[in-house]
């Protein structure tokens, strides 16, 4: 596959499993195109045209020719300079890695990460938070995230990839959408009544069992295994942490249980005060699950995958992969 084809396929799968639904995503892209058409020539010069066809700013090609043929991909949760040097060393030993994929964004995918938080507005609204409330809270959090990232050394890793002549891309919200969709479908199928049944459901996924061996498996942070679930919210996509204020609204919206990839200490306290059961599925394990769903698709198309940097590779059978459809 060409580097561009891998990137576009990631975006397509992200749209296919987007919590807003493909039609809503198409409408958003159409809105962006209309807004772009109204810009002056000078404004168009600075416009991020990738976002006319890609609704996920944290998923991008960061370095390398788009028509580069890729046969062997190194994939990790976090790609830093050390991982790039590792790949360079592996290639010196004859491994033949053609490109590197990071889950967590770097470079331009990192400085635009705050824009991916728009997705959370629709997720929280879908779980009962008024749209005007979700809009205003998440816009403030997005602005805060943008500021915090923009003062850092955001392009350091991409610079290293360029100097090592390693093609690099990211797949963040796209694969987070995959794990969100996958777990939501599992829960919808199982219809768990008790928290213990959610914990049992997660125990059937190899990524969570692997994390359990390292004392990082799914945990019940708040509530009892015998508690009834009530209304369940899966919280695994949307860029980054949405802050505490929006989670204060979940108890008022009638959410009984949240199944999250990760939560900040402040969010945990807010949810506990609202008597919301908290199932912490795990960060690296949930990221790995989403990536594995994507890697299964890439391997089926002939790509060789080498996993590292926190990514644990597990393959699923064709029947399980149908959960993507």
pLDDT of residue 44: 94
Are 44 and 97 contained in the same domain?
Answer: yes
Residue 211 placed within a domain: yes
Distance CA 287, CA 176 (A): 7
pLDDT of residue 322: 60
> What are residue 101's DSSP bridge partners?
75, 169
Contact yes or no for 236/173 (Cβ under 8 A): no
Neighbours of 48 (CB within 10 A): 14
Domain range for 247:
178-283
CATH number at residue 193: 3.40.1390.30
Residue 277 placed within a domain: yes
Are 62 and 129 contained in the same domain?
Answer: yes
Residue 321 placed within a domain: no
What is the per-residue DSSP string for 14-59? HHHT-TT-HHHHHHHHHHHHHHHHTS-HHHHHHS-GGGGT-S-TT-
Residue 317 placed within a domain: no
> Model-level pTM greater than 0.85?
yes
Number of domains in the chain: 2
Tens place of pLDDT per residue across the chain (325 aa): 999 999 999 999 999 999 999 999 999 999 999 999 999 999 999 999 999 999 999 999 999 999 999 999 999 999 999 999 999 999 999 999 999 999 999 999 999 999 999 999 999 999 999 999 999 999 999 999 999 999 999 999 999 999 999 999 999 999 999 999 999 999 999 999 999 999 999 999 999 999 999 999 999 999 999 999 999 999 999 988 888 999 999 888 999 999 999 998 899 999 999 999 999 999 999 999 999 999 999 999 999 999 999 999 999 987 666 656 5
Of 232, 248, 236, 249, nearest in space to 195 by CA: 232
């Amino acid at each position: 596959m060409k580097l561009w084809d891998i990137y576009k396929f990631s975006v397509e799968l992200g749209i296919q499993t987007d919590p807003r639904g493909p039609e809503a995503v198409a409408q958003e892209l159409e809105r962006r195109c209309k807004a772009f058409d109204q810009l002056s020539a000078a404004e168009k010069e600075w416009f991020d045209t990738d976002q006319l066809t890609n609704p996920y700013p944290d998923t991008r090609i960061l370095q390398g020719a788009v028509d580069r043929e890729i046969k062997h991909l190194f994939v990790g949760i976090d790609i830093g300079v050390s991982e790039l040097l590792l790949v360079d060393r592996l290639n010196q030993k004859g491994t033949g890695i053609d490109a590197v994929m990071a889950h967590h964004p770097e470079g331009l995918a990192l400085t635009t990460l705050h824009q991916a938080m728009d997705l959370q507005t629709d997720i929280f609204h879908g779980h009962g938070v008024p749209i005007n409330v979700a809009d205003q809270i998440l816009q403030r959090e997005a602005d805060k995230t943008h500021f915090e990232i923009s003062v850092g050394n955001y392009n350091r890793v991409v610079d290293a990839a360029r100097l090592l002549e390693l093609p690099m891309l990211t797949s963040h919200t796209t694969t987070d959408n995959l794990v969100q969709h996958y777990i939501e479908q599992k829960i919808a199928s199982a219809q768990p009544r008790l928290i213990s049944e959610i914990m049992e459901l997660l125990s059937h996924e190899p990524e969570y069992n692997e994390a359990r061996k390292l004392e990082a498996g799914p945990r019940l942070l708040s509530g009892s295994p015998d508690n009834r679930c009530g209304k369940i919210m899966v919280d695994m996509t949307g860029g980054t942490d949405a802050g505490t204020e929006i989670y204060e609204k979940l108890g008022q919206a009638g959410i009984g249980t949240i199944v999250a990839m990760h939560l900040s200490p402040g969010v945990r306290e807010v949810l506990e005060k609202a008597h919301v059961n908290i199932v912490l599925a795990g960060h690296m394990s949930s990221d790995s699950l989403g990536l594995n769903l994507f890697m299964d698709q890439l391997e089926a198309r002939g790509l060789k995958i080498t996993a590292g940097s926190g990514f644990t590779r597990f393959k699923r059978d064709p029947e399980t992969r149908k959960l993507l459809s």
